Structure 1
Amino acid sequence: MLKFVILLSAVACALGGTIPEGLLPQLDGRIVGGTATTISSFPWQISLQRSGSHSCGGSIYTDRVIVTAAHCLQSVSASSLQIRAGSSYWSSGGVTVKVSSFKNHEGYNPNTMVNDIAVIRLSSSLGFSSTIKSISLASSNPANGAAASVSGWGTQSSGSSSIPSQLQYVNVNIVSQSKCASSAYGYGSEIRNTMICAAASGKDACQGDSGGPLVSGGVLVGVVSWGYGCAYSNYPGVYASVADLRSWVINNA
C-alpha cells in the first residue's frame, strides 16, 4: 500500500493537488517525527500480526476483544492472526494470543474507507496489568484542536520498508470532521461522517499504525484509517471516528 500512496502523490502533483475520484489513498500507517516510548504509557496498544509479523495496530477494548481497522483484515483468515500485548516491542516480550474470530463493519467500503472499523475476538483472555489495560470508547468527538496522541510500530519515513522494534508515539491535534472536509484542507467530500482527522505542524500528515489508537482525554477517539501522502500539511491523517461507530463496536464486541 505504501507504493500506492507514493504513486498517488505523484499523480496529485500532476493534477494540481486534487485526488482523482475513486482513488482514495490508503496507507499501512506510520509514525513519522515521533518518539520511542514504553507500553506502560500506552497499555491498550497491541500489535496485530499475520503469520508472526507485525501488520497493524489495535486497541484493547475488553480482555477478549480488540478494536482495529477493517482494512487490516481483508483477505486474511483468523487462523493466521495473533496479537502481542504488554510489550514495548512488537517482536518480543509481553504475551501473544491467537485470534479466534473477527468481524468487519458491514458498511465498510474500501473505495471510500467509510466505516473502517472491526472487532477481533481472542482465543483466550488477556490478564490485565500495568502494561495491559483496556481503553474506553469515546462517546463524543473531541473539539477541533484538542490534544491527542497516536502510537504504533509503523515505518518512520516515507518509502521505508523497515519498521522500528520499539513502540513510537506522536502528539497531534484533532481536526474536526467539518474542518477536515472544509476548504482549509484538500480532502473535501472524501471526509465522511464516520471519520475524524488529526494533524501536527511539521510532522507527517498520516501518523500512526493502521488500526491503532488515536487517544484524546484518556479515551479512544479514532482508529488509524487512511491518509494522503506523507508530510502533506494540507492532508491530515484520517481516522475512523469511534464516537460515531461506538454503538456498532458495543453491539458486536
Structure 2
Amino acid sequence: MWIGFCWVLILFARSSNGIYNGVEAKFDFWTFIASVWVNGYQECGGTVIDTRIILTAAQCVKNKPVKKITVRVGTPDIYRGGNVIKVTAMAVHENYKEWNNDIALLWLEKPVLSERVTNIPLPFKEPSENEYPSNAGWGEKLLESYVSPRKLQNGVTKIRPRSLCVDELVEPIGNELLCTFYAENDICPGDYGGPLILANKVVGIAVQGHGCGYAILPSLYTNVFHYLTWIEENSRELKKNN
C-alpha cells in the first residue's frame, strides 16, 4: 500500500502543465506522434497515419505556405533527435471554420516509417461515453505563457456526452466533435493537432482546450471516425498528385 502511495507521489512530482496535469511520456508508446513546425516555431502536434501522411488540425496550417511547414518525428524532444522533414503538399478541409471540420493532412517530402517512427490505425467506430483515451503533446505549460515543455507530455481524459459541451461552452456540438473532460486534464496551445488515442487507434484530433486546466470546462477534439471518408479520399489525392 505504501509502495503504491509512493508511486503516486512520484507521478505527480514529475507532472507538467504541457498536457495540463500530464506526465513525461514514455516515447515507446508514442512513436506515431509528430511535432508540426511553421515558420521555424513548434506550432502543433500531429499523427503519422501513413508512410508520408500526417494527420493534424486545419487551424495549424490553413493559409500557411507549404514551404514554411516542417515535421519532426521519431523523438520525444522537440529540439533534438529524430528527423525533420519538409512538407510538400497538404489537404485542408474545404469547410473548415473555427472548431468545425478542423482537420488537415500533410504530405511529407519522403517516407518516415522506421524503428522509431510508426503509423497508427484509424478507428472503426467513435469512442463511447465514459471511455478513457490518452492525449499527448508539447503544448504551453501555462495559458499564454508561450513556454512549451521540451519533452513530450501525456495524460488521460474522459469522453463525455456532447450535451455537456453544449451546456458548458454554449456552442453547438455535432457528431464532428468529441467532448472530453477529466480531473483537470486539458489541452493547451501547442497541443492542438495532436492525437487522442484509444485502443491503439487515433480517435481524435485536439482542437480546443479551455484555460489550460484552470477553467473547469471540457475540451474538444475532431472526431476522426466522422471524417474517415474525407481522410481516405484526400490521402488518395495526395498520393496521386505527389
What is the TM-score with the length of structure 1 in the denominator?
0.80
Pick from 54, 63, 84: which aligns with 2:51?
63
**AA of the residue aligned to 1:138:** P
What is the percentage of aligned positions where both structures have the same residue?
Answer: 29
Alignment of 1:177 onto 2:142: no
Alignment of 1:212 onto 2:194: yes
| Cα distance between partner residues in 2 of 1:71 and 1:51 | 15
The residue aligned with 1:11 is none
Tell me if structure 1 keeps the 8 A contact 2:79–2:150.
yes
Structure-to-structure mapping, 1:94-113, within 5 angstroms: 94-110=82-98, 113=99
- Which deviates more from structure 2 when the two are superposed, residues 150-159 or residues 117-126? 150-159
**Gapped runs of 5+ residues in structure 2?**
1-16, 236-242
**Gapped runs of 5+ residues in structure 1?**
1-28
Deviation at 1:128, TM superposition (A): 2.4
**AA of the residue aligned to 1:166:** K
Tell me if structure 2 keeps the 8 A contact 1:39–1:45.
no
**AA of the residue aligned to 2:30:** F
| Cα distance between partner residues in 2 of 1:73 and 1:202 | 28
The residue aligned with 1:115 is 101
Tell me if structure 1 keeps the 8 A contact 2:37–2:69.
yes
Deviation at 1:63, TM superposition (A): 0.6
SS at match of 1:164: coil
**CA 1:97/1:208 → structure 2, altered by over 3 Å: closer, same or farther?**
closer
What is the TM-score with the length of structure 2 in the denominator?
0.84
**AA of the residue aligned to 1:72:** C
Structure-to-structure mapping, 1:71-86, within 5 angstroms: 71-86=59-74
SS at match of 2:50: coil
| Cα distance between partner residues in 2 of 1:93 and 1:205 | 24
**AA of the residue aligned to 1:117:** I
Deviation at 1:177, TM superposition (A): 3.0
